[in-house]
Amino acid sequence: MNQLQEIDQLRQQLHHHNHLYYVLHAPVVTDQEFDHLMHRLQDLEALHPEAFDPNSPTQRVGSDLSNEFQTVAHRRPMLSLANTYNREEVSDFYHRVSEGLQGEPFEVCCEMKYDGLSISLHYEGGRLVRAVTRGDGTQGDDVTDNVRTIRSIPLVLPEGGGWPDEFEIRGEVLLPWDNFERLNAQRQAAGEPLFANPRNAASGTLKSKNSAVVAQRGLDAYLYYLLGDGIPGESHYERLQTAARWGFKVGPQTRLCHSLQDIYDYIDHWDTERSQLPVATDGIVIKVDNLRQQRSLGLTAKSPRWAIAYKFQAEQAETILRLVSYQVGRTGAVTPVANMDPVQLAGTTVRRATLNNEDFIRSFDLHLGDHVLVEKGGEIIPKIVGVNTDARDESLGEPVAFITHCPECGAQLVRYEGEAAHYCPNDTACPPQLKGRIEHFISRKAMNIDSLGPETVDQYFRTGLIRDVADLYDIRLAQIAGANREREKSARKIIQSIEDSRQVPFERVLYALGIRFVGEIAAKALARYFKSVDALQTATTEQLLQVNGIGAVIAQSVIAWFANVQNQWLLERLRQHGLQFELNDDELAAHSDRLQGKTIVISGVFTHHSRDEYKALIERHGGKNVGSISGKTSYLLAGANMGPAKLEKAQKLGVSIISEEDFLQMIE
């Protein structure tokens, strides 16, 4: 795999993990593993600026937005923090701050990093008027009704507290360990799936449509950031004490540090003592204390320069490996799973851990009966990180041998060149792959059949109602409304949502088909280049390689998919059901080559369209969005309040600076 192919693969992986984390609240990798993938992608994109994509995961932060709630724009963006996992990077941050302040003395406020869901609370006249989730940083979901049930959040502030008429306070909504264990015990007794960790439970609870359920589960909240005019003091630490006097729950572990050694001492103390806290934490937040100095240091596009998050190393425990089982995913990837003696880890009982792939198993020379070290990084999905070979009894256990055939359908597994995973090639008949393809097909970025969920898909699949995505369009109301039509309301929503999906544009239909290695971006590029499924179906490898961002691996996968007779039959059935298999006249008319070969940087605030809409317009007319100015930049699209650094660099390099009106005239 070359570096450009790796970039495309990393983007697809990170988009998938973002969706699992922020939308489904079901992450399958640790924060550290996610950050490693992100850093690798950032490094590769720096080496290959020609591969810039405005939709790359490096160009945005994740989102927890949901269609179930009203979306509200944040008055002030809720940025994410840069993460670090070692003292050297903490030291680098400390010295960057010192340089940025030109040697001016500064203090640092250290706080616990609570592992929950970020929330923004707005107060007017001393009363809570709105609670908004972080969302994508610029807008979030209005969850005010649910937040009102959290007893540690004051609904009305005490008289005479000196609070301003309007202000915002931010913090973290979380589920204490005791309530988490009680909730999972109740779910286990009811035969319901368990929450992986308190963070998932808090997210799922706060997004519940039933406020009574939220009240019963016992959410808590810690607040850590006051914003607004008229708030006394220029010290962040002092403002936290002020918030506490107003009745807000502020972490008592917060400490003002005067040196780098003070920070190290704080880290060392809480690295062990955090296990005694009543709530889950995954690190420490380090902030410059003086607000004037914060403003002086400023922000990047995604995070403040005056703060950083130090993540604790994952907790480990030793247990015994008893059995290795295997799971088959949507793409056919086969994942080995370690089944172990129960062990307490990060507040929960662990019995299973991922083994990733055959190479991973071989790297540890795993034997059944081995004493293995298990880690639960980010308190999410456990995995084996080592083996205590001194405790191995060679006479008891056998070396773990990776299976050769699919545990679900019996097909012989294959391993593609450059891939670490084994795959079941039987993608037209293997049950987990069939279900996974249906779940992918109905997902929001694909066909957006939002009234269906994985549980319903599984039920329909087990009863034989659907076996592939085309069967969705054969579902009738009477089949799913229940014997006494007790589910008629939800059934009508499902039928309507399926009907609406017939209007989903071609590029998303192509993505929804689930062709291996064809992610959202690749599907968009293929749809815009070939303009119809008929043209794509007959394309040669050479023609596919002409498409920007399409390499040999994707090209071969596309050709193999369309050559499969069962896929051809599936396409014909979907065509008969009226799905969009070509760009319509409006879409074709909306595209042009007016910006072909042009690279454009966007900066500032605009009147006629949002920044994202301008990025889409640039792509639609053949141009390329880039994030930073260089000698190769064709234009700087400048809006109001644009960054002075970009303006200065554009002028220095002789880059043409165009206004919003200039740009619209160019494309129209």
- How far is 251 from 515, CA to CA, in rounded Å? 48
Q: Based on the fold, state whether residues 450 and 557 are members of the same structural domain.
A: yes
65 is a domain residue: no
Mean of pLDDT values over 3-23: 72
**Shared domain check, 323 and 304:** no
Averaged over 580-594, what is the pLDDT? 76
Residues in CB range of 119: below 8 A, 6 or more apart: 131, 132, 133, 134, 143, 147, 170, 171, 172, 173, 206, 221
Q: In this structure, is residue 508 part of a structural domain? A: yes
The domain spanning residue 443 has which CATH number? Answer: 1.10.150.20
Q: What is the CATH number of the domain that holds 22?
A: 1.10.287.610
Pair (293, 343) in one structural domain: no
Of 19-28, 33-42, 145-154, 202-211, the range with the lowest mean pLDDT is: 19-28
- Position 62 scores a pLDDT of 45
Q: Is 23 helix (H, G, I), strand (E, B) or coil?
A: helix
Of 547 and 497, which is predicted with more confidence?
497
* Residues 638 and 647: beta-carbon distance below 8 Å: yes
| Residues ≥6 apart with Cβ < 8 Å to 398 | 367, 368
What's residue 643's pLDDT?
66
Position 524 in a domain: yes
Per-residue pLDDT tens for 317-326? 899 999 999 9
The bridge status of strand 139-141 relative to strand 71-73 is antiparallel
Identify the band that residue 379 occupies on the pLDDT scale cut at 50, 70 and 90: very low
Do 15 and 115 fall into the same domain?
A: no
**Number of folded domains in the chain?**
5
Same domain, 642 and 609: yes
Asked which of 311, 328, 345 is the last residue of a domain, the reply is: 311
**CATH number, domain containing residue 124:** 3.30.470.30
Range of the domain at 83: 71-311
Give the whole-angstrom CA distance, residue 98 versus residue 12: 38
Q: Is residue 494 part of a domain?
A: yes
Predicted pLDDT of residue 378 = 47
pLDDT of residue 380 exceeding 80: no
Averaged pLDDT, 573-599: 83
Can you name the residues that pair with 284 across neighbouring β-strands?
112, 310
Tell whether the model's pLDDT for residue 190 goes beyond 70.
no
Which pLDDT value is given to residue 52?
73
Q: Which residue has the tokens 């995913």?
A: 329
Q: Are residues 552 and 622 in the same domain?
A: no
66 belongs to a structural domain: no
- Point out the domain boundary residue: 249, 282, 311: 311
More confident residue, 304 or 9: 304
Q: Are residues 155 and 172 in the same domain?
A: yes
Would you state the pLDDT for residue 25?
47
For residues 482 and 597, state if they share a domain: no
Q: How far is CA 548 from CA 30, 260, 330, 493, in A?
A: 32, 48, 27, 39
Residue 196's φ and ψ, nearest 5 degrees, are -70, -35
DSSP string over 285-354: EEEESBHHHHHHH-B-SSSBTTEEEEEPPPPEEEEEEEEEEEEE-TTSEEEEEEEEEEEEETTEEEEEEE
Task: Report the pLDDT value the prediction gives residue 65, as an integer from 0 to 100.
Answer: 52
Check which CATH number belongs to the domain holding 654 and give it: 3.40.50.10190
Place of tokens 């930049």: 633
Res. 28 pLDDT band, cuts 50 70 90: low
Asked if the structure places residue 450 within a domain, the reply is yes
Whether 61 and 74 have beta carbons less than 8 Å apart is answered as: no
Distances (CA, A) of 530 to 546, 570, 580: 11, 20, 14
pLDDT in tens, 424-439: 988 888 999 999 899 9
- Segment 26-35 shows an average pLDDT of 68
Neighbours of 146 (CB within 10 A): 24
Residue 62 lies inside a defined structural domain of this protein: no
Residues 274 and 335 in one domain: no
What per-residue confidence (pLDDT) applies to 124?
A: 92
Do 173 and 219 form a contact (C-beta atoms < 8 A)?
Answer: yes
Write down how long the chain is. 668
How many Å apart are CA 59 and CA 324, to the nearest integer? Answer: 39
Which residue, of 405, 426, 447, is where some domain finishes? Answer: 426
At 216, the pLDDT band (50, 70, 90 cuts) reads confident
The string of DSSP codes covering 102-149 is TT----EEEEEEE-SEEEEEEEETTEEEEEEE-TTSSEEEB-HHHHTT
Distance CA 499, CA 577 (A): 10
pLDDT digits (tens, 9 = 90+) for 146-175: 998 898 999 988 887 789 999 999 999 999
Segment 389-419, tens digit of pLDDT: 888 887 777 889 999 999 999 999 999 877 7
For residues 388 and 527, membership in a common domain is answered with no
**Residue 633 neighbours by CB under 8 Å, 6+ apart:** 599, 600, 601, 626, 650, 653, 655
Range in 25-29, 52-56, 293-297, 482-486 the model is least confident about: 25-29
* Residue 130 belongs to some domain of the structure: yes
Q: Are residues 462 and 528 both part of a single domain?
A: yes
- Catalytic positions, written as ranges: 113
283 vs 9: which has the higher pLDDT: 283
Question: Do 76 and 51 have their domain in common?
Answer: no
Structure confidence by residue, pLDDT tens digits, 115-125: 899 999 999 99
DSSP 279: S
Q: Which residues contact 293 (CB under 8 A, 6 or more apart)?
A: 101, 104, 106, 306
Give me the torsion for CA of 430, 435, 441, 444, rounded to 10°. Answer: -150
